[in-house]
Amino acid sequence: MKNVIEIQQLVKSFGKTRVLEGIDLNFEASRISVVLGPNGSGKTTMIKSVLGMVIPNSGSIKVLGTDIQGQWDYRKNISYLPQIANFPPNLTALELVNMLADLRGGNQHTRELIERFGLGPFMRIRLSNLSGGTRQKVNILLAFMSDAPVIILDEPTNGLDPVALIRLKSLIAQKKSEGRSFLITTHIMQLVEELADEIVFLLEGKIYFKGTVSELKGTFNENNIEKAIARILLTNNVA
């Protein structure tokens, strides 16, 4: 199967702390990969390295076959949903959508998404006056409106109500069936169970497990993911 992201020997330290200790990882096309790990395990640093926000000390990253070092144009192939939805307070959601569309170019599918998440009445209101949940829906709209083949979601369920959560899950499933690839980080195990084709477990900058949900359960002889992960943490004396 074709790899959309290939990471080789990725090393990153901030000052004296080594956050990523030589990671080798491939993400395949048209799959949902979930990256798990406790706080400080290097999840965000890895994702930010792929996006070019963090500059690695060594190692290489390829997105759709091209090395990303010093590049910026490759980011048109990636959509990103940041963890914190904090936008320019005095712009409206509509202006923000137009801005991103303006920056990215290409086709944008906004109308369908606005309807799906019931954002219609909020599009002309200043972003500072929207609730946290609505802002997260705007965040989702921004991440899904483009045609990018790779979608990276950092804690996508933050602040979502159950209805929006169900809509988000069906949206992810639909985009996957259209051939898009996902890289998701989350703390919600139920979401992992429902969506993940593949789990990557990071701990202290190393990969401790990579495989499917059932492989994870099988390896640690547990019938739910939470317990299996607790086992990884306990056996490595980090919890």
Partner 1 sequence: MYKILKYAFYDLIRSKWSYVYFAFYLLISGSLLFLTGDISKVIISLMNIVLVLVPLIASIFGVMYYYNSREFTELLLAQPIRRSNIFLGQYFGLSVSLSSSLFLGIGIPFLFFGIFRSAEIWNFFILILTGVLLTFIFSALAFLVALQNENKLKGFGFMLFIWLFLAIIYDGLFLLSLIVFKDYPLESLSISMSMFNPIDLSRVLILLKLDISALMGYTGAVFRKFFGNDNGLILSSLVLLMWVIIPVAFIARVSKRKDF
- Can you give the binding site for partner 1, defined by CB under 8 A? 14, 48, 51-55, 72-76, 78, 80, 82, 84-91, 95, 99-100, 102-104, 126, 142, 152
DSSP string, 168-189: HHHHHHHHHHTT-EEEEE-S-H
4 close to 156: Cβ distance less than 8 angstroms: no
At 31, give phi and psi (nearest 5°). -130, 160
Residues making up the chain, counted from first to last:
239
Nearest approach in angstroms of CB 231 to partner 1 is 33
Q: Is 48 helix (H, G, I), strand (E, B) or coil?
A: helix
Residues forming beta bridges with residue 209, ordered by sequence position? 201
Give whichever of 63 and 202 is closer to partner 1, judged by the CB atom: 63
Give whichever of 94 and 230 is closer to partner 1, judged by the CB atom: 94
Nearest approach in angstroms of CB 134 to partner 1 is 16
**Strand 150-154 and strand 181-185: pairing?**
parallel
Please give the structure tokens belonging to residue 114.
Answer: 């606005």
Give whichever of 105 and 162 is closer to partner 1, judged by the CB atom: 105
Nearest approach in angstroms of CB 27 to partner 1 is 17
Nearest approach in angstroms of CB 147 to partner 1 is 13
Give whichever of 145 and 216 is closer to partner 1, judged by the CB atom: 145
